[in-house]
Structure 1
């Protein structure tokens, strides 16, 4: 510690150092992994041809001469496949959904919904409940489960049902939402 009460390196002794990992595993370091645009295009082409993510990973590994020469990990590959699978809601799909919700609203005066759009006009959150869901909530809403463990759909929205149990020990839905990942 120097006179300013800060730590300061005064000597480096090389024989106390050792590699963090074995040389054969260096390709797994985050700094060594690269998911380039050409790789993403190849993965997208393989996915469009019907190859499963594991098959496209194995094919690319074989072509590169092994997993250690591929330049990205299996997890990176699967994440890329997942991101390519997710598509934003295009205008016609979101407009159709909103039209159906407004149609339902005219038929059911207890129907309620809210849609939140992102800055670029895409649906990022959607919530709705109808009269029957409201009635079930009033009767059986003592305990409610908000479950977001369902996978995201092709629009990258997570299905989040609000569920309870009725007097027959059956699931009953109180409301439902599709929630977008606000961090993206």
Structure 2
């Protein structure tokens, strides 16, 4: 018998109908598709638009955005609950697939994880060939535990950024960096980098001095310019002559005697002899001034930009507040993308014929030996 008083009013429009709980169901295949999108850092709004596009009725999703939001939230909670077990399982699977993978874990007295460093066989192979110069940066923090993530990055024979390894740290103290640098070198069969570029972090500086005594430490030029702008204020303003003179010291001067002379002139001209920041910069000039790196191999790098660029790429792969296992999984996807880019350059080097313009015998010899990117620079 039909009793009208016990029924809700009928929904007249499709958009009304989708508000009923009966339209909250999402099939397993779509759930897996949604999970894959969230793991690859696709936003909730974009996921909803994608689902609208693939639905049988174009422009309309079969369920509410609130339903999708609840599903993504539940997936995130479930992922966080079993994070440690999933991370261990993932590392075990990685080790089974890559016999030369090295994973090092540092724990405290209570058995809690302090640091995790891992390097794949490809990382270690690349370091053996290109590990003379390493940049290191820990600005990336997008993970569930807000742990700083450090990347060891270099440049390969195609002048591409190549990743040598990654380390998750609980803190950024001297002891933590000492463990990271020492473990990294041990993982790389004891090979120390000739040159290491970092920002002006005091803890990193002390750790490099203690653990890598034969490695030349160089400060990132970009950070020096950034700090100069912050510390010197109006003296370093847009139209100030001191700014142009300071940049010239960093970029143009090649001789130590000339540098010393121009630095003294800069200080006297702008009456900055008592400036603490410039006093500290001068005391540490061997870490950043170009004349002091004459004869020191730096692979064309003057900053940690390659590490920071890799960190920027990580943000595209890894969603905010991601659990550890997802972080490792997506980091591996980044490594695979770098391998693909390297393979493309290998192909171009082998298949693209080099045009010899000058007719010099050394040109022909170089065209047979160098990669395409190196040959272009040589030319």
Please identify which structure carries the higher strand content: 1
Larger RCO, structure (CA 8 Å, separation 6 or more): 2
- TM-score between both structures, scaled by the size of structure 1: 0.46
Give the number of the structure whose alpha-carbon radius of gyration is greater. 2
TM-score by length of 2: 0.23
More helix by share: 2
